[in-house]
Amino acid sequence: MSETIPQPGTVTRSATGGAAGRILRSVDELVGGTPLLRLPLDGVPGDVRLCAKLEMFNPLANVKDRPVLAMMRDAEESGVLPATGGTVIECSSGSTGISIAAFCARRGHRCIIVMPDNATEERRQILREFGAEIVLVPHQDGLLPAWKYAEELQQSIPGSWLAHQDENPANERAHYETTGPELWEATAGRIDVLVCGVGTGGTLTGAARYLKQRKDVHVVAVEPAGSPVLSGGEAGPHGIPGIGAGYVSDIMDLDLIDEVVVVPDEEAAPTAREVSRRIGMLVGVSSGAAAYAARLLSRRERWAAATMVAVFPDSGERYLSTALG
């Protein structure tokens, strides 16, 4: 019997990268180390190994915990943000804002999130729970005026820090240092295809940069058909929150993309629902978009026996009042 009981100091490989086997000092330690799940989707040929990287296992239930933690640590180390009592500003329509608000609450910073006025009520509620102040800007104008407003706000509040996920190199570096190595390790270097939605492009750029340094992994960017900017089309409104920002951010490295798959709104939410029922866990709309793109690719002769990974940025629970409702 006794040999089945883990000895002190034994690292248990788990969803939290070993965190289950010890007492944690802070929620920061729960960021990253997310699981990779085999995705049993209809229409995917039997010899293809399709997996999903489940980023909803981060503490704020979103992939954004990784870059937010990295950006805040950088700011603290360089001295632009004190350990406590600072003011943090960010422009975000959802997930980044929630992660920043939570990390600010724990550290004792004032947090101001500039967001489009069509952000869902549940997102605003979560921000308020963490004590963040919300500034709403008209959504019709897109995110660029919101960024400009956030920059002006930062200049008007002495000592404040604007995280600026679109320009901050810690965004993609977080994925280079964590997401990429985790994918490499979990697949034992067998990953052939990475399928990833693009918001700021931090996930794709960081993870792809790491993987391509090891192997010629085929990197597939996923974007909404309604805003196909990476495919050379026009920015526009669409129904896949978190991706398709309508412009290419400064941290995005387009050279890492081998192929772009465009996903219609009408496919993203139904695929998310199909995946949710199949795996027994709610997945978000952009996860549905990634799964849709991965299934299309899996049917190609070239990937007949490939290991493919689709990144699932968040859970479906924050979309029940909208796209998944």
Binding site for ligand PMP (CB under 6 A): 62-64, 94-95, 197-203, 241-243, 284, 286, 313-314
> Considering the complex, what minimum distance in angstroms separates the CB of residue 154 from ligand PMP?
20
Q: What tokens does 302 get?
A: 């070239």
Judged by beta carbon, residue 173 or residue 295, the one nearer ligand PMP is 173
> Considering the complex, what minimum distance in angstroms separates the CB of residue 320 from ligand PMP?
14
> Considering the complex, what minimum distance in angstroms separates the CB of residue 64 from ligand PMP?
6
Rounded Cα distance between 204 and 172, Å, is 8
Q: Are 257 and 203 in contact (CB under 8 A)?
A: no
Q: Are 75 and 60 in contact (CB under 8 A)?
A: no
Burial state string for 301-321 with b = 16 or more CB within 10 A and e = fewer than 16: eebeebbbbbbbbbbbebbee
> Considering the complex, what minimum distance in angstroms separates the CB of residue 63 from ligand PMP?
6
> Considering the complex, what minimum distance in angstroms separates the CB of residue 108 from ligand PMP?
26
CB atoms < 10 A from the CB of 237, how many? 14
Judged by beta carbon, residue 63 or residue 217, the one nearer ligand PMP is 63
Q: What tokens does 57 get?
A: 């296992």
Judged by beta carbon, residue 48 or residue 163, the one nearer ligand PMP is 163
> Considering the complex, what minimum distance in angstroms separates the CB of residue 284 from ligand PMP?
5
Judged by beta carbon, residue 48 or residue 193, the one nearer ligand PMP is 193
Q: Give the residue numbers annotated as catalytic, written as ranges.
A: 64, 286
Judged by beta carbon, residue 123 or residue 295, the one nearer ligand PMP is 123
> Considering the complex, what minimum distance in angstroms separates the CB of residue 46 from ligand PMP?
29
Judged by beta carbon, residue 157 or residue 260, the one nearer ligand PMP is 260
With a CB cutoff of 8 Å and minimum separation 6, the contacts of 164 are: 90, 91, 147, 150
Closest-approach residue to ligand PMP (CB): 242
Backbone angles phi, psi at 242, to 5 degrees: 100, -25
Judged by beta carbon, residue 48 or residue 173, the one nearer ligand PMP is 173
